[in-house]
Amino acid sequence: MGPLTLVQVTPLQGYLLLAAVLFAIGLAGALTRRNAILVLIGIELMLNAANLNLIAFWRYGPHPEALTGMMFAIFSIAVAAAEAAVGLGLVIHIYRFTHTTDLDQINRMKG
């Protein structure tokens, strides 16, 4: 991350930027990849980026002892896990019917 060293950046901003990068990558993946599972992976990445944000703000936030950031991250991890499970379950189910995980072909919900 060349530019960062040039610009005087506080540690928090570093983490936020990292989170932003990760989020962007996750979003790009989710938007571009054809395979449904990879979209889910992209979403997982975006969630993790959010967690990183939370923890960063908690760490450099005014009241770290309040543990809000940490708690939020933990709960977010739990929910993300549940979401991943259900998401993958759905993908498998769709595969069972359409024999494909290619999102471009799964468009039965067309308007």
Partner 1 sequence: MTIVFYLIAAITVAGALAAMLLKNTVHCALALTVAFAGLAIQFLELDAQFAGFAQILVYIGAVAILIVFAILLTRGSETPKDGVFSKSWLAGLVIAALVFAVLGWAVLNSTSVLPGETAKPAVSVLQIGNALIGRYVLPLEIVAVLLTSALIGAVIVARQEKGSAK
Partner 2 sequence: MQETISFTPQVGTSGIAQMLCLIPAVPVVASGVIALLKQPMRKTAATLAVGSLSFSLLLSLFAFAHVVSGWSHGHAVREVVNFTWIHVGATNVDLGCVLDPLSAVMLVMVCFVGLLIFIYSTGYMVHDENCTRFFCFMSLFAGAMLGVVIANSLLLLFMGWELVGLTSYLLIGFWYQKPSAAAAAKKAFLTTRVGDVFFLLGMVWLASGTGTLLFYNNGGGSMEAGALASLLGQHACWGLTAAGAIGLLIFAGAAGKSGQFPLHVWLPDAMEGPTPVSALIHAATMVAAGVYLIARVYPLMAAGSLLGGTTTALTVVTWVGAFTAVFAALIAVAQDDIKRILAYSTVSQLGYMMAGLGMGGVAVGMFHLITHAFFKALLFMGAGSVIHGCHDEQNIRKMGGLKADMPLTFVTYAAGMLALCGVPIFAGFWSKDGILEAGSHWSVSKGPVALLIFGALLTAFYMTRQVAYVFFGHWRGHKPAHESSAVMTIPLVILAIFACVLGLFGTPAWPWFQSFLGGRATPVEFRALLEPNVLLVSGVSVFVVLLGIVLAWWLYGDKSPKPDQPDVLQKAVPMPWAWLRNRLYVDEFYGVTFIAFYAWWARIADWLDRRVWGGAVSGVAVAFRGWAQVNRLLDTHVVDGTFDKGCEELSTGGGLLSRIQNGQIQAYLRWLALAVVVLAAILIWSSRA
> Which listed option, partner 2, partner 1, none, makes contact with residue 88 (CB within 5 to 8 Å by class)?
partner 1
What does the per-residue mask of binding to partner 1 show for 89-108, with x meaning CB under 8 A?
xxxxx-xx----xxxx----
Positions 18 through 57 that interact with partner 1 (CB under 8 A):
18, 20-38, 40-42, 44-45, 48, 51-52, 55-56
Q: How far apart are CA 111 and CA 107, in angstroms?
A: 9
Cα 76 from chain centre: 11
Both tokens assigned to 88: 């993958």
- Told to check if 54 binds partner 2 by CB under 8 A, we report no
How many chain residues bind partner 1 (CB under 8 A)?
78
Q: How far apart are CA 13 and CA 8, in angstroms?
A: 10
Out of 63, 96, 99, 108, the residue judged to bind partner 2 by CB under 8 A: 108
Please, which residues bridge with residue 102 across strands? Answer: 35
Could you identify the residue written with the tokens 């770290």? 64
3-class SS of residue 68: helix
Which residue ranges make up the site for partner 2 (CB under 8 A)? Answer: 27, 30-32, 36, 39, 103-104, 106-111
